[in-house]
Amino acid sequence: MQNLDLQATSTTPAIEFNAASGLLSISGRCIHENPPQMFQVINDWLKEYVQLPRPFTVLRINLEYFNTSSSKCILDFLKTLKKIEDTGNHLEVIWIYHEDDEDMKQSGEDFSELTDIPFEYVEYN
């Protein structure tokens, strides 16, 4: 299947999903006013990927800002991705945030709890 590469804009994140390596990355701002529309392409790719995932999938999320309407889409995205574990595949989610951004860490903890996926937290400064 094809990789998915989307350039970041001032309101949407950079997407680098590599189907061959199982390395997925979301980074930047996720503050589009109509997130379901923005997530359509991402979700279409994901639906195909979870059918036949790599044995090890690593998702790196490094968001500067996200709005509350996007948070619902991020949650749904994580829930769909978690399905790859049902077929014995391994999923690792790395949540990256600035060391002073306690809210972003809290958001990661919320998503982790809601999806029942243990996140690895990485701080940068």
Contact with other proteins (CB under 8 A): which of 1, 41, 114, 122? 114
| Side-chain-facing half-sphere of 44: CA atoms under 13 Å | 9
| Residue placing its CB nearer to other proteins in the complex, 47 or 98 | 98
Q: Does 48 bind other proteins (CB under 8 A)?
A: no
DSSP 8-state symbol, 90: E
**Do residues 98 and 123 make contact, with C-beta atoms less than 8 angstroms apart?**
yes
- Report the site for other proteins in 10-39 (rule: CB under 8 A): 10-11, 31, 33-34, 36
Cβ atoms within 10 Å of 11's Cβ, excluding its own: 17
**HEC string of 36-84?**
HHHHHHHHHHHHHHHHCCCCEEEEEEEEEEECHHHHHHHHHHHHHHHHH
**Do residues 15 and 49 make contact, with C-beta atoms less than 8 angstroms apart?**
no
Q: Does 120 bind other proteins (CB under 8 A)?
A: no
Contact string 56-95 vs other proteins (x = CB under 8 A): ---------x-xxx-xx--x--------------------
Cβ partners under 8 Å of residue 103, min gap 6: none
- Size of the residue set binding other proteins (CB under 8 A): 23
| Residue placing its CB nearer to other proteins in the complex, 5 or 109 | 109
CB of 102 to other proteins, least distance (A): 7
Where does this chain bind other proteins (CB under 8 A)?
Answer: 10-11, 31, 33-34, 36, 65, 67-69, 71-72, 75, 98, 100-104, 106, 110, 113-114
